[in-house]
């Protein structure tokens, strides 16, 4: 399976596949199937580490902020895989497993004791799933304000209006989302559209490469 430029230029973790060899054996899953999941996860992380997300749109460049961006990009891929029936469901589960094996590894590297790691990973997985489903209605409706409100809550723990700038004139409404979160919401809509246009056979084979860098979407 050939690598795309994003997989070559931005490795997720040095020797990531090898580091999880014991996990792979424990899963008793076909190595090619997991290789595809790793290939897609590499691109998810590469997309999540685009500098514009942090430098211009205001996502905190911290472990939590980076994990948040990995989560939203993974959510978009898993959302796309729903259209691919049982093979898509299997790949989505494999990507989920790879992502949280990586979370497990990172938590251990931060010095968390073995007895507590499982609780941290379980909490992170539950949070991811809740945020995954929270994004769905806004993506379905292509409602940038609604997506931005979810992002504000997830990234900054702030409650804002999902009605956009017009909410500023309504005293009973919270503040509108920050411009950076509106830009990020527009980018996620564009990513969702690009993934929708990607042939399912390509994604299922691990050939996921969304062309072009993130850009600020027009208001």
Q: In tens digits, what is the pLDDT along the chain, a chain of 219 residues?
A: 444 433 333 333 334 444 444 445 555 557 788 889 989 999 999 999 999 999 999 999 998 899 899 999 999 999 999 999 999 999 998 998 888 888 777 666 666 666 666 676 777 778 888 888 899 999 999 999 999 999 998 888 765 555 554 444 444 556 788 899 999 999 999 999 999 999 999 999 998 875 555 554 444
Residues 6+ positions from 3 with CB-CB distance below 8 Å: 39
pLDDT in tens, 70-123: 999 999 999 999 999 999 999 998 998 888 888 777 666 666 666 666 676 777
Cα–Cα dist 132/126, whole Å: 10
Cα–Cα distance for residue pair 184/115, rounded to 1 Å: 37
Is the Cα torsion angle 125, 130, 136, 139 positive or negative in sign? negative
Contact 185, 177 (CB under 8 A): yes
Rounded CA separation 98/94 (Å): 6
pTM, two decimals, is 0.77
Q: Which residue has the tokens 């084979």?
A: 205
215: which residues sit within 8 A by CB, 6+ positions away? 52, 187, 190
Is the CB of residue 140 less than 8 Å from the CB of residue 176? no
């Amino acid at each position: 399976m050939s690598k795309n430029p994003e997989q070559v230029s931005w490795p997720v973790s040095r020797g990531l596949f090898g580091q999880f060899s014991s996990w792979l054996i424990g899963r008793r899953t076909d190595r090619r199937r997991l290789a595809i999941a790793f290939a897609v996860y590499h691109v998810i992380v590469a997309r999540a580490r685009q500098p514009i997300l942090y430098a211009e749109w205001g996502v905190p460049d911290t472990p939590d902020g980076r994990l948040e961006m990995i989560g939203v990009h993974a959510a978009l891929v898993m959302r796309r895989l729903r259209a691919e029936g049982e093979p898509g469901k299997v790949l989505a589960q494999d990507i989920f497993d790879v992502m949280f094996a990586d979370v497990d590894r990172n938590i251990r590297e931060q010095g968390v004791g073995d007895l507590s790691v499982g609780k941290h990973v379980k909490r992170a997985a539950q949070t991811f799933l809740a945020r995954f489903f929270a994004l769905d209605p806004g993506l379905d409706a292509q409602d940038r304000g609604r997506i931005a409100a979810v992002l504000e809550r997830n990234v900054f723990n702030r409650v804002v209006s999902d009605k956009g700038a017009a909410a500023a004139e309504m005293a009973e409404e919270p503040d509108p989302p920050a411009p950076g979160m509106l830009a990020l919401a527009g980018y996620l809509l564009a990513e969702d559209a690009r993934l929708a246009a990607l042939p399912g056979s390509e994604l299922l084979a691990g050939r996921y490469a969304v062309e072009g860098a993130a850009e600020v979407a027009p208001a």
